[in-house]
Amino acid sequence: MSAGRREVPLVEVRGIGVRFGGLQALDEVSFAVGQGEFVSVIGPNGAGKSTLFNVISGVQRPTSGEVLFDGEPVRRSRPDLVHARGVGRTFQVARPIGSLTVRDNVLLGAGGHRLRGVLSSLRPRSRDRALQLRVDELLELAGLTAVAHRPASEISPGDLRRMEIARALGDEPRLVLLDEPAAGVGSDGLTPLAELLGRIRERGVAVLLVEHYVGLALSLSDRAVVLNRGRLLAVGDPDEIRGNQAVIDAYLGTKRSRADGGVQQSTGSEHEG
Ligand SMILES: Nc1ncnc2c1ncn2[C@@H]1O[C@H](COP(=O)(O)OP(=O)(O)OP(=O)(O)O)[C@@H](O)[C@H]1O
């Protein structure tokens, strides 16, 4: 960045509030994600992490505040419009099409608007070939080549999570929102997942990661956003977050080490590890 020129963040969350009846699920939450930045969103159960993802991806209309992409406000909360601006996401509960192969599940993600735009100048046969190569590349990226032809219903939870991420990457997103990708993967699945997340980082795709395995999340992140009861408790680099007393009191203070070296919070949401 040249001196005096302020780079516009990829995404800016400005004063977001979400109210469900009498419950303030998010309250005046503001932070930004830069191009290619890896940011974790951590906090105890019910802190508002998924609600925040729903706002950013256009599923949930905020009660107050706004989200900006490339400095421009998103005027209508519509997932299709947000997706078209380059936002992919995975969900807390995986959503595979179990009867389709892993390859076809990933292919579904690669058929979207943005990638079609990139390939539109090609003849149909070349386009199809380019799409298939893109799927091959995503399968390799996610360590799924060996299970590519198996039905999604038959693969391990760890493979399933990485398949969902590969699918979310299919339409050339500039930002992916990953909601608890380590949930249920088991200790065997953590290393391939961490490798995939590291590769996404290297490709310059920005990541917002909600993860209860805080050790894993912080080890990959440029910065972390900590939520507690809908409010922003802290934003900082991993070392600042680990040393922040308010974060330790509200969240990290309950940590327990796991045999795999990760840290998962004992806050009532126990995922199989
Ligand atoms: N559609 C909804 N209607 C009413 N309340 C909701 C709704 N969605 C979320 N909530 C409430 O809003 C609060 C924040 O929920 P949210 O799922 O965003 O938290 P979270 O940090 O993602 O939690 P977890 O770690 O358990 O997934 C919770 O108290 C939850 O019960």
Q: Give 10-residue mean pLDDT values along the chain (273 residues).
A: 65 96 96 96 93 92 94 79 84 73 88 62 71 91 96 93 93 92 89 94 94 92 96 95 89 50 41 31
CATH 3.40.50.300 in the chain is located at: 8-86+174-268
Residue 225 burial (CB count, 10 A) = 26
Residue nearest to atom 2 of ligand 1 (CA): 20
Ligand 1, atom 3: nearest CA belongs to which residue?
Answer: 20
- Joined together, the tokens standing for residue 178 give 């990953």
Residue 135 makes CB contacts below 8 A (sequence gap 6+) with 103, 106, 107, 110, 170
Distance (Å, rounded) from C-alpha 190 to C-alpha 152?
Answer: 19
The whole-angstrom separation of Cα 112 and Cα 129 is 16
- 236 is written with which tokens? 């900082």
- The pLDDT value recorded for residue 179 is 93
Q: Is the CB of 51 under 6 A from ligand 1?
A: yes
Q: What is the pTM for the complete model shown?
A: 0.86
Which of 40, 49, 214, 229 to mutate for ligand 1's pocket (most ligand atoms within 8 Å of CB)?
A: 49
Tell me what pLDDT residue 257 has: 34
ipTM topping 0.85: yes
Class of domain 8-86+174-268: alpha beta
Nearest CA-CA partner of 114 in 178, 177, 173, 57:
173
Q: Are 226 and 235 in contact (CB under 8 A)?
A: yes
Q: Which residues pair with 12 in a beta bridge?
A: 32, 68
